[in-house]
Amino acid sequence: MNSNTSTRASMTSLFLAFLFVPLIESFLIRNSAMCGCKRHSFAGPTIYERAETFGKKRGKGRLNKFKPSDDKNDYPADESLPTPRARNSESEQVRREQAMQTLKKELSLTRSDAAFFLSHPFLLSLDMSSKVWYLRNEMGLSRSKLRSMIIQHPKLVASVFLQDLQPTVEFLKSELNLSASEMSAVAVANPRILRYYRNDVRRKLAYLRLEVGLVDVAMLRKVILSQPKILGYGLDTFQSKVAFYKEELGLDTEKFVKMLLVKPEIFCYSIDDNVKPTIAFFLDEVGLSPKQMTALVARSPQILTCSIETNVKPTIQKIKKLFHLKRRDDIVRVITLFPQVIWLSFEKNLAPKTEFLRTSLNLSDEEVRRLMLTMPQVLGLSMEKNLMPKMSYYIEVVQYDEEELRENILAQPSLLVHSLEKRIKPRVEKLARMNFQFRYCPMHILGFTDIAFEKWVERQKNTWSITTED
């Protein structure tokens, strides 16, 4: 009885050894390749030698019928039949060739590029058909974009696991109302999204909503579509950036959100390497107060994207000379009134417009300085489409002579800022219909709201006669 039990135990152990040892070897080899390790050759006794040794411990001579026999009476081994390992190798070669044909046909990859990609150690599956179909149809990647992604980021694409990618893509599409083309744009701008997990993305979007203040889907869409790599930041990075802008710089939630919507890439700038040095320069070198700096960033966050050495410093020196600014407070006033002066082209914008105003109005150096300290916003207007038509209108229709135009613009520079079609013409024409001459009216009436302007006109009907008959 004991002998039969021992025999059955030996037979069971031997069967398990034959069944699982090759599988374990295959798993270790495959796993070492996926981890980027060198493939080790598992040198040692063969499976038969291991089984024989194992069998001898259980009972001498009990393994003979499982070994290839030399007895002539036994059936000879059919050497023409492939071993299981050989069959697996042939099957893998077939699947590899099918994958290569898919890459060549669907993406127009060369054979060498396809072979390189398929030999990548991080490749999880040779099933290229389903992967290519999903990336093309569900993520919206065009043939050329997917081909470029495979060539430029083979590791990312090779390690794509559709069971992980699909929930992430569906979540982003649902939460941000992304179309296939928008999803494609996000993936092209940030290929690492192929390896993001849904739960991680969910936590980041929740943080952007609750802590940053991007509560509206439209806000989230704008920020993510503009800067998809934001999704790659960890929550600790989010927290450090938000803490700096809100606590150190002093932006409240509303101003911080406005800054992100105007210039989303600022969230991607390094606080220590980019943002802090820029702020320190404007505080220490230019002379802005902390309160002015906060207001400047909230109003024109583009200021943080300008290079100090190649942009800000040279521009400040040039406009000091061009505008004849004499004091430190002068440059502070110009920058706070019109921050665009820092990043507008000096040669193509600031210098030509300043020279046009100087010659057209016959301004002295001091008058140029006074104009720029009062209304530097005129430099943001088009010379051909805005400044020239307005000055012509004042001379030809309003009938200012050149000296009157010069004096009125110096006294009220906003004459050049108001819209010609929406503000200046309608009011001049309304006054003319009432027999009023605009040239004799207070110049600040152009700054009135429509309601205030109508009330002013009603008051003048019986109290003031500014008529063309006079």
Write a three-state SS string for 281-295: HHHHHHCCCHHHHHH
Give me the pLDDT at residue 24, please.
57
Give me the pLDDT at residue 16, please.
57
- The answer on pLDDT for 54 being more than 60 is no
Give me the pLDDT at residue 341, please.
92
Give me the pLDDT at residue 39, please.
42
Answer with the residue of higher pLDDT: 83 or 445: 445
**361-399 pLDDT, tens per residue?**
999 999 999 999 999 999 999 999 999 999 999 999 988
Q: With cut-offs at 50, 70 and 90, classify the pLDDT of residue 277.
A: very high
- Within 10 Å of residue 352's Cβ, how many Cβ atoms? 14
**What span, in angstroms and rounded, lies between the C-alpha atoms of 412 and 444?**
7
Task: State both tokens at 401.
Answer: 């002579």
What is the value of pTM for the model shown? 0.68
Residue among 189, 148, 196 nearest 170 (CA):
196
**409-423 pLDDT, tens per residue?**
999 898 999 999 999
List, in order, residues 6 or more apart from 275 with CB less than 8 Å away: 244, 266, 269, 304
Give me the pLDDT at residue 364, please.
93
User: What percent of the chain is modeled with pLDDT above 70?
Assistant: 79
Phi, psi of 418 (to 5 degrees): -65, 150
Find residue 242's DSSP bridge partners. none
Give me the pLDDT at residue 67, please.
44
Give me the pLDDT at residue 27, please.
52
Mean pLDDT throughout 319-347? 92
**What span, in angstroms and rounded, lies between the C-alpha atoms of 13 and 354?**
95
Residue among 286, 267, 257 nearest 228 (CA):
267
**222-237 pLDDT, tens per residue?**
999 999 999 988 889 9
- The answer on pLDDT for 43 being more than 60 is no
What is the DSSP code (8-state) at residue 467? B
Of 9-18, 193-202, 358-367, 383-392, the range with the lowest mean pLDDT is: 9-18
Give me the pLDDT at residue 8, please.
59
Which amino acid, one-letter code, is at 25? E
Under a CB-based contact definition with an 8 Å cutoff, are residues 414 and 375 in contact? yes
Which amino acid, one-letter code, is at 222? K
Q: With cut-offs at 50, 70 and 90, classify the pLDDT of residue 62.
A: very low
Give me the pLDDT at residue 469, please.
45
- The answer on pLDDT for 456 being more than 80 is yes
**205-227 pLDDT, tens per residue?**
999 999 899 999 999 999 999 99
DSSP string, 204-245: HHHHIIIII---SHHHHHHHHHH-GGGGGS-HHHHHHHHHII
Query: Phi-psi bin for 246: left (phi > 0), alpha (psi -120 to 50), beta?
Result: alpha
**What span, in angstroms and rounded, lies between the C-alpha atoms of 242 and 255?**
12
Domains of the chain, earliest start first: 307-417 (1.25.70.10), 421-469 (no CATH)
Under a CB-based contact definition with an 8 Å cutoff, are residues 141 and 107 in contact? no
Give me the pLDDT at residue 84, please.
52
Averaged pLDDT of the chain: 81
**What span, in angstroms and rounded, lies between the C-alpha atoms of 177 and 222?**
11
Of 18-22, 81-85, 313-317, the range with the lowest mean pLDDT is: 81-85
Q: Tokens 């042939």 correspond to what residue?
A: 90
- The answer on pLDDT for 58 being more than 70 is no
Give me the pLDDT at residue 462, please.
66
**72-130 pLDDT, tens per residue?**
444 344 444 445 555 556 687 888 888 888 888 888 888 888 888 888 888 877 888 88
